[in-house]
Structure 1
Amino acid sequence: MGKRVLIVDDAAFMRMMIKDILTKNGYEIAGEAENGQVAVEKYKDVKPDLVTMDITMPEMDGIAAVKEIVSYDSAARVIMCSAMGQQAMVIDAIQAGAKDFIVKPFQPERVLEAVSKALS
C-alpha cells in the first residue's frame, strides 16, 4: 500500500506536476487543496501520511496552515514548496513544523528524496 499524500497548491498545474511525480513512484494521492484553509479541513478528513504545501496561497498561506495542522496532529509530516528567493519563509515554515522544503520548478528526484526522507 503506497503512502498517502495530500497536495496543496493554489496552482492546479503545480498540483498536477507533483501528483504525476508521486503516482509514478507508487504514492497514493489522498487529496488536493487549493489553499491553506481547505488543506487543514482535508487533512482532518483524509489523514494523509504526508502533505506537500505551497507557501504563498490565498485564504490562508502555507505557514499558517502548517501551524494549524501541526497543532491538530503533532506527528504531521509536511514538506513546503517554495519558489526561489523565499528563504526567510522557508525558515518560518521549518520553525512552524515543516520537515523539509523543495524549490520550484520541481526536480522529480528532489521531490522524491524529500518525500521519502520525511516519511522515514
Structure 2
Amino acid sequence: MLLENAKVLISDDSILARKQLKDLLFDLGCTNVFEANNGQVAIDTYMSEKPNLVFLDIVMPVKDGIKVTKEIIEFDSDAKIVIVSSVGTQKHLREALEAGACEFIQKPLNLKNLKKIVESMI
C-alpha cells in the first residue's frame, strides 16, 4: 500500500503532540489522518474508520493507551498499533506489547524513526 493511501489514527490528549505527529506523517506522504483526544474517542474512531495504523499515547483521559490497545485488538486482531509516549518504562513496554501493540516509541519523535516504523507497517 502506498503511504498516501493509508489511513492513520493519532490518539493523544495533547493537541501539540497530535499536531507534531500529524505534521511528520504529512511529510512522509500520509494525508488521511484522523485524530482522537482521549481513549474512548480513539476506539470509536477505529471502529468507524478502520485505519491501517494507529499511534496511541499511554497516558490519556477516559481510557489509557493499554486499555485502548486491548479493545482495538479484541475488535480487530490484525490492528497495527504503535504506542507513543514520553513515559516509556519497561513495564509500559511489556504491557503494550502484551496488549497487542506492534511497536513502542518514545517522544519526541523524529522523521527518520517514524518513517522506518510507518514503512514497516503499511
TM-score by length of 2: 0.91
Alpha-carbon deviation of 1:109?
Answer: 1.0
Contiguous gaps of at least 5 residues in structure 2: none
Question: Which of 105, 112, 117 is the aligned partner of 1:114?
Answer: 117
Residues 80, 102 of structure 1: 8 Å contact kept: yes
Counterpart check, 1:102 vs 2:105: yes
After TM superposition, the structure 1 = structure 2 runs for residues 87-98 of structure 1, keeping only pairs within 5 Å, are 87-98=90-101
Equivalent residue of 2:48, what SS?
helix
**Match in the other structure for 1:5:** 8
CA distance in 2, matches of 1:82, 1:93: 11
Indicate the RMSD between aligned Cα atoms, in angstroms: 1.2
How many angstroms apart in 2 are the aligned matches of 1:65 and 1:108?
25
The residue type paired with residue 92 of structure 2 is M
In structure 1, what is the Cα distance between the partners aligned to 2:19 and 2:100? 25
Q: Does the Cα contact within 8 Å between 2:5 and 2:32 map onto a contact in 1?
A: no
* % identical aligned pairs: 39
Matching of residues 1-120 of structure 1 within 5 Å: 1-119=4-122
Which amino acid letter does the alignment assign opposite residue 26 of structure 1?
A: G
Partner SS state of residue 24, structure 1:
helix
Distance in 2 between the 1:110 and 1:32 partners? 21
**Count of residues in correspondence between the two structures:** 119
Amino acid corresponding to residue 36 of structure 2 in structure 1: A
Q: CA deviation at 1:85?
A: 4.2
1:15-59: CA deviations, max 9, x gaps? 001100011111133310011111000001111000000001111
Residues 88 and 106 in structure 2, CA contact (< 8 A), matched pair in contact too: no
